């Protein structure tokens, strides 16, 4: 039984790492697509939930949920929508490396919100790790002042991005991951549509260039529908904090891809790299410190 659980855990870790790599590629697509952040998210979630609809249709799987669950999924979709809109806005206001490193603060926010939402004890080790992350972000703020708006958007995106995985870690115990993803993506589409309507966003600027269509299809199917389902499914075995911790490999993948596509590394200051090293070192050393702390207790 213990060996079977270990095999399942390792399988979920592999799936999560692959998913995080796909998410790293999302930032590249966000910079390549020419439309605004809200319009981009609108197309993204539209393509994603339509893809999942056809998956359910051809697999003949039931997608019926209770009214209460449906409302929960739709309102969780608001968090998903806000997280992605702010993420792409941050990329357009700064660049991929700055956005992804600041997005690493999702670990800090998860360490705060997960105990509050699940009513568990706050880990001192997680709080200390969060303080190191704050120091890293402060360094980036100090030296990358031209990207202040982008940094603020990225931090706000991280805050929202820390909350809905905690909610999903509870929902996945009741519903299959594709069902959760389907209704939350519909919710995100509804909220993005309401925002566009309220701000007169349905303009000629929503017409897509040929290159945008291809990028959006990849973003909506592979990087959203497939990756979202995979990201939710692993929460049956992994805690929200562990998912957030591994998700912070996204900056590594994204920054390397950014260098390959755009050469962004040449534009960054020494202060940025000092802050990035502090943040990423904290993330990678956390599991080591956690193991040693548990042994000495």
Smallest CA-to-CA distance from 106 within 238, 245, 285, 288 is with 245
CA distance 266 to 273: 11
Note whether residue 12 is domain-resident.
no
pLDDT at 290: 67
Note whether residue 45 is domain-resident.
yes
Note whether residue 11 is domain-resident.
no
Q: Burial level of 14, CB count in 10 A (0-12/13-18/19+)?
A: exposed
CA distance 78 to 93: 22
pLDDT at 266: 58
Q: Does this model's pTM top 0.75? A: yes
Contact between 204 and 152 under an 8 Å Cβ cutoff? The reply is no
Smallest CA-to-CA distance from 84 within 30, 149, 134 is with 30
Which stretches in the chain have pLDDT values below 50?
Answer: none
| Structure tokens that stand for 263 in this block | 């050469």
Note whether residue 9 is domain-resident.
no
Contact between 166 and 114 under an 8 Å Cβ cutoff? The reply is yes
Residue 213 parent element (H or E): helix 210-220
Count of domains in the chain? 1
Residue 270 parent element (H or E): helix 270-296
Note whether residue 114 is domain-resident.
yes
Note whether residue 117 is domain-resident.
yes
pLDDT at 1: 57
Domain that residue 91 falls in = 36-296
What tens digit of pLDDT does each residue of 160-193 get? Answer: 999 998 888 888 888 888 899 999 999 999 999 9
CA distance 206 to 201: 8
What tens digit of pLDDT does each residue of 201-239 get? Answer: 888 888 888 889 999 999 999 988 888 888 788 877 777
Note whether residue 128 is domain-resident.
yes
pLDDT at 53: 92
DSSP string, 81-130: HHHHHHHHHHHHHS-HHHHHHHHTTHHHHHHHHHHHHHT-PPPHHHHHHH
| Structure tokens that stand for 190 in this block | 């509804």
Smallest CA-to-CA distance from 51 within 193, 227, 225, 188 is with 225
Note whether residue 7 is domain-resident.
no
Contact between 81 and 255 under an 8 Å Cβ cutoff? The reply is no
């Amino acid at each position: 039984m213990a060996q079977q659980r270990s095999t399942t855990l390792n399988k979920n870790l592999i799936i999560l790492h692959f998913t995080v790599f796909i998410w790293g590629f999302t930032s590249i697509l966000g910079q390549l697509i020419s439309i605004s952040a809200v319009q981009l998210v609108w197309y993204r979630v539209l393509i994603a939930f339509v893809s999942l609809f056809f998956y359910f249709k051809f697999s003949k799987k039931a997608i019926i949920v209770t009214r209460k669950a449906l409302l929960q999924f739709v309102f969780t979709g608001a968090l998903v929508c806000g997280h992605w809109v702010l993420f792409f806005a941050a990329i357009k206001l700064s660049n991929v490396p700055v956005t992804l490193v600041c997005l690493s603060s999702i670990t800090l926010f998860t360490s705060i919100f997960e105990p509050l939402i699940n009513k568990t004890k706050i880990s001192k080790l997680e709080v200390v790790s969060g303080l190191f992350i704050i120091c890293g972000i402060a360094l980036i703020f100090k030296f990358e002042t031209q990207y202040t708006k982008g940094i603020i958007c990225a931090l706000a995106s991280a805050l929202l991005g820390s909350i809905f995985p905690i909610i999903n870690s509870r929902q996945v115990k009741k519903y299959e991951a594709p069902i959760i993803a389907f209704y939350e993506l519909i919710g995100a589409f509804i909220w993005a549509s309401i925002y566009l309507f309220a701000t007169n966003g349905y303009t000629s600027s929503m017409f897509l260039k040929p290159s945008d269509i291809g990028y959006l299809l990849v973003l909506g199917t592979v990087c959203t529908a497939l990756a979202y389902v995979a990201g939710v499914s692993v929460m049956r075995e992994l805690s929200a904090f562990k998912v957030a911790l591994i998700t912070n490999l996204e900056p590594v993948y994204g920054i390397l891809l950014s260098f390959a596509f755009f050469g962004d590394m040449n534009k960054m200051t020494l202060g940025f790299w000092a802050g990035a090293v502090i943040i990423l070192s904290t993330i990678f050393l956390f599991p080591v410190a956690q193991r040693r702390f548990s042994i000495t207790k």
